[in-house]
Structure 1
Amino acid sequence: MTAVSEKLISLLGDALKRHPAPGRLWLGYSGGLDSTVLLHLLCRVQVPFGAVHVNHGLSARADEWQAHCEEVAGKLGVPLVARNVEVRRKEGGLEQAARKARYGAFDMVMAPGDQLLLAQHGDDQAETFLLRLLRGAGVLGLGAMAEWRSVGDPDEGRSLLRPLLGASRAELECYARASGLEWVEDDSNSDLALDRNYIRKQVVPPLAARWPLLERVSRSAENLREAAGLLQDLAGEDLQRCGVRRESFGLSIDLAAFLALSNARQKNLLRGWLHNCGAPMPEAAHLQQALHQAQAVEDAIPAVPLGGMVLRRYRDRLFLTPQLQPRERFDEVEWQWDGVHELKLSEGWILAPSPDWPAADYMVQFRRGGERAKPRERHHSQTLKRLLQEYALPPWLRDRVPLVFRGETLVAVGDLFVTVDGPVSPPIWRFLD
Structure 2
Amino acid sequence: MSFSPQAPLSLVVGYSGGLDSTVLLHLMHRMQQRLPQLFSLSAIHVHHGLQPAAEAFKSQAIAFCDQLSLPLQVMHVAIPEAEIGRLGLEAAARRYRYQAFAKCLPPAAVLLLAHHRDDLIETALLQWIRGAGLEGLSAMTRLSSAEIEGRMITRWRPLLDHSRQALLDYAQSEGLRWVEDPSNADRSLARNRIRHEVMPILRSIREGADSAMSRSISHLQTARDLLELVTDQALEQSRLPGGMLNVELLFMQDEALAARIIRGWLKHHGAPTPPTRRLTEFLRQLREAREPFAQMDLSEPGSAEIWRVVRERGHLRIAR
Q: Please give the TM-score of this superposition, normalised by the length of structure 1.
A: 0.65
The corresponding residue for 2:163 is 168
Task: Tell me, yes or no, if the aligned pair for 2:102 and 2:153 is still in contact at 8 Å.
Answer: no
Q: Which runs of 5+ in 2 are unaligned?
A: 33-38
The corresponding residue for 1:261 is 253
The corresponding residue for 2:29 is 43
* Alignment equivalent of 2:12, drawn from 7, 18, 26: 26
Deviations 1:200-244 (A, max 9, x none): 122111112222222112211111111111111111121122124
1:111 Cα deviation from its structure 2 partner: 3.0
Equivalents in 2 of 1:207, 1:303: separation in Å? Answer: 43
Equivalents in 1 of 2:107, 2:281: separation in Å? Answer: 37
Alignment of 1:74-153 (within 5 A): 74-87=66-79, 88-152=83-147
Task: Tell me, yes or no, if the aligned pair for 1:279 and 1:309 is still in contact at 8 Å.
Answer: no
1:134–1:281 Cα change, 3 Å: farther
Residue identity in the other structure for 2:311: Y
Deviations 1:41-94 (A, max 9, x none): 111112531101011111022123212211111111011101111232134222
Deviations 1:380-422 (A, max 9, x none): xxxxxxxxxxxxxxxxxxxxxxxxxxxxxxxxxxxxxxxxxxx
1:188–1:115 Cα change, 3 Å: same
Equivalents in 1 of 2:31, 2:272: separation in Å? Answer: 35
* Alignment equivalent of 1:63, drawn from 34, 52, 55: 55
Alignment of 1:99-248 (within 5 A): 99-152=94-147, 158-211=153-206, 212-245=208-241, 247=242
Q: Give the share of equivalent positions with the same residue, in percent.
A: 36
Equivalents in 1 of 2:201, 2:231: separation in Å? Answer: 39
Query: Larger radius of gyration, structure 1 or 2?
Result: 1
Secondary structure at 1:180 match in 2: coil
Secondary structure at 2:87 match in 1: coil
Residue identity in the other structure for 1:180: G
Q: Which has the higher helix share?
A: 2
1:131 Cα deviation from its structure 2 partner: 0.9
RMSD: 2.5
Q: Which runs of 5+ in 1 are unaligned?
A: 1-7, 325-433
1:301 Cα deviation from its structure 2 partner: 4.2
Equivalents in 2 of 1:82, 1:271: separation in Å? Answer: 36
Task: Tell me, yes or no, if the aligned pair for 1:258 and 1:266 is still in contact at 8 Å.
Answer: yes
1:56–1:121 Cα change, 3 Å: same
Equivalents in 2 of 1:123, 1:136: separation in Å? Answer: 20
Q: Please give the TM-score of this superposition, normalised by the length of structure 2.
A: 0.86
Equivalents in 2 of 1:241, 1:187: separation in Å? Answer: 51
The corresponding residue for 2:316 is 318
Number of residue equivalences: 303
